[in-house]
Chains A and B, each alone.
Chain A
Amino acid sequence: MALPSRTADSAQWARCPSCEAFIYFKHLRRNLGVCPECNYHFRLRVRDRLDQLLDPDSFEDLSVDIEPVDALSFVDSKPYPERIAAAQRKSGHKSGALYGRGKIGGNPIVIAAIDFSFIGGSMSGAVGESITRAAELALAERTPLIVVSASGGARMQEGCVALMQLAKTSQAVALLHEAGVLFISLLTDPTYGGVSASYATLGDLLVAEPGTNIGFAGPNVIEQTIRQKLPEGFQTAGFLVEHGMLDLVETRENLRQSIRKIVALHGGEGPAAAPEEFGEVAEGQPLVTDAAALPARDPWDIVQLARHIDRPRTLDYIEESFDDFIEFHGDRLFSEDGAIVTGLGRIGSHTVVVIGHQKGHSTQEMMDRNFGMPNPEGYRKGLRMMRYAARFGFPVVTFVDTPGAYPGLGAEERGQSVAIAESIMEMSRLPVPTVVTVTGEGGSGGALAIGVGNRVLMLENSYYSVISPEGCSTILFKDAAAAPRAAAALRITAPDLLQLGVMDGIVPEPAEGAHTDRSTTAANVRRAVVDSLDELVGLAPEQLVQERYERFRKFGTAGSQAVLSPIGDS
Chain B
Amino acid sequence: MTDDTRREARELYEAGDFERSRNASLTGLELDANDLELLRLAGKSGVELDTEDAVGMLQKVVALNPNDAIGWHDLGEALAAEGRVREATDAFRRAVELRPDDAAALIDYGHSAFASGQPAEAIEALEDVLKMDPSDSATLRSLIGMYRRASQTEAALGAAERLLQSDPDDPVAALEKADLALTLGRLDEADGAYERLRTVDDEPEHDVYALHGLIQVAMRREDWDRALALAEEAIKVDTSGRTAALLGFFVTQARGRGDQPGRAEVEEALSDSHTEHLRIHSEEFAGF
Instruction: Tell me if B's interface is mostly helix, strand, loop or mixed.
Output: helix
Complex Cα gap A45–B285 (Å): 12
Contacts of A36 in B (CB 8 A): 83
With A24-B112, A220-B242 already in contact, the answer to whether A17 and B50 are too (CB < 8 A) is no
Q: Does A76 contact B (CB under 8 A)?
A: yes
- Check if B240 sits within 8 Å of A221, measured CB to CB: yes
Q: Does A84 contact B (CB under 8 A)?
A: no
Q: Does B63 contact A (CB under 8 A)?
A: no
Task: List residues of A (191-224) whose CB comes within 8 Å of B's CBs.
Answer: 218, 220-221, 223-224
Q: Digitize A105-148: 1 where CB-to-B-CB distance is under 8 Å, 0 elsewhere.
A: 00000000000010010000000000000000000000000000
Task: List residues of B (256-288) whose CB comes within 8 Å of A's CBs.
Answer: 279, 282-288
Task: List residues of B (41-99) whose CB comes within 8 Å of A's CBs.
Answer: 47, 50, 77, 80-83, 85, 88
Q: Does B1 contact A (CB under 8 A)?
A: no
Q: Which residue of A lies closest to B133 (CB)?
A: A9
Complex Cα gap A48–B288 (Å): 8
Q: Does A33 contact B (CB under 8 A)?
A: yes
Contacts of B147 in A (CB 8 A): none
- Check if B111 sits within 8 Å of A17, measured CB to CB: no
Task: List residues of B (97-112) whose CB comes within 8 Å of A's CBs.
Answer: 103-104, 107-108, 111-112
- Check if A30 sits within 8 Å of B108, measured CB to CB: no
Contacts of B283 in A (CB 8 A): 17, 42-43
Candidates B80, B286, B288; contact of A27 at CB < 8 Å: B80
Pick the interface stretch among B135-143, B150-158, B186-194, B222-230. Answer: B135-143
- Check if B108 sits within 8 Å of A12, measured CB to CB: yes
Contacts of B81 in A (CB 8 A): 24, 26-27, 30
Q: Does A13 contact B (CB under 8 A)?
A: yes
Interface size class, chain A: 35 or more
Q: Which residue of B lies closest to A18 (CB)?
A: B279
Q: Digitize A26-51: 1 where CB-to-B-CB distance is under 8 Å, 0 elsewhere.
A: 11101101001000001111001000
Q: Does B115 contact A (CB under 8 A)?
A: yes
Contacts of B242 in A (CB 8 A): 220, 223-224
Candidates B111, B142, B202, B287; contact of A4 at CB < 8 Å: B287
Contacts of B83 in A (CB 8 A): 24, 27, 30-31, 36
Candidates A8, A77, A120, A224; contact of B245 at CB < 8 Å: A224
Q: What is the minimal beta-carbon distance from B262 to any residue of chain A, in angstroms?
A: 14
- Check if B47 sits within 8 Å of A43, measured CB to CB: no
Contacts of A20 in B (CB 8 A): 145, 149
Q: Does A21 contact B (CB under 8 A)?
A: yes
With A27-B81, A27-B83 already in contact, the answer to whether A42 and B138 are too (CB < 8 A) is no
Q: Does A73 contact B (CB under 8 A)?
A: no
- Check if B104 sits within 8 Å of A45, measured CB to CB: no
With A10-B107, A15-B285, A43-B288 already in contact, the answer to whether A227 and B202 are too (CB < 8 A) is no
With A27-B82, A30-B50 already in contact, the answer to whether A10 and B240 are too (CB < 8 A) is no
Complex Cα gap A518–B208 (Å): 62
Contacts of A3 in B (CB 8 A): 287
- Check if B288 sits within 8 Å of A42, measured CB to CB: yes
- Check if A76 sits within 8 Å of B136, measured CB to CB: no
- Check if A8 sits within 8 Å of B107, measured CB to CB: yes
Complex Cα gap A224–B239 (Å): 11
Q: Name, among A27, A28, A30, A36, the residue most crowded by chain B CB atoms within 10 Å (CB to CB).
A: A27
Q: Does B168 contact A (CB under 8 A)?
A: no
- Check if B241 sits within 8 Å of A220, measured CB to CB: yes
Contacts of A9 in B (CB 8 A): 104, 107, 136, 138-139
Contacts of B250 in A (CB 8 A): none
Complex Cα gap A227–B245 (Å): 8
- Check if A22 sits within 8 Å of B142, measured CB to CB: yes
Contacts of A77 in B (CB 8 A): 202
Candidates B77, B82, B85, B288; contact of A14 at CB < 8 Å: B288
Complex Cα gap A480–B16 (Å): 80
Task: List residues of A (382-428) whose CB comes within 8 Å of B's CBs.
Answer: none
Q: Does A317 contact B (CB under 8 A)?
A: no
Contacts of B142 in A (CB 8 A): 10, 13, 15, 22
Q: List 7 A-B contacts (CB under 8 A).
A: A8-B107, A13-B142, A23-B115, A76-B204, A221-B241, A223-B242, A224-B240
Binding site for B on A (CB under 8 A): 3-6, 8-17, 20-28, 30-31, 33, 36, 42-45, 48, 76-78, 117, 120, 156, 218, 220-221, 223-225, 227
Binding site for A on B (CB under 8 A): 16, 47, 50, 77, 80-83, 85, 88, 103-104, 107-108, 111-112, 114-115, 126, 136, 138-139, 141-142, 145, 149, 202, 204, 239-242, 244-245, 279, 282-288
- Ranked 4 nearest A-B pairs via Cβ: A224-B241, A220-B240, A8-B104, A10-B138
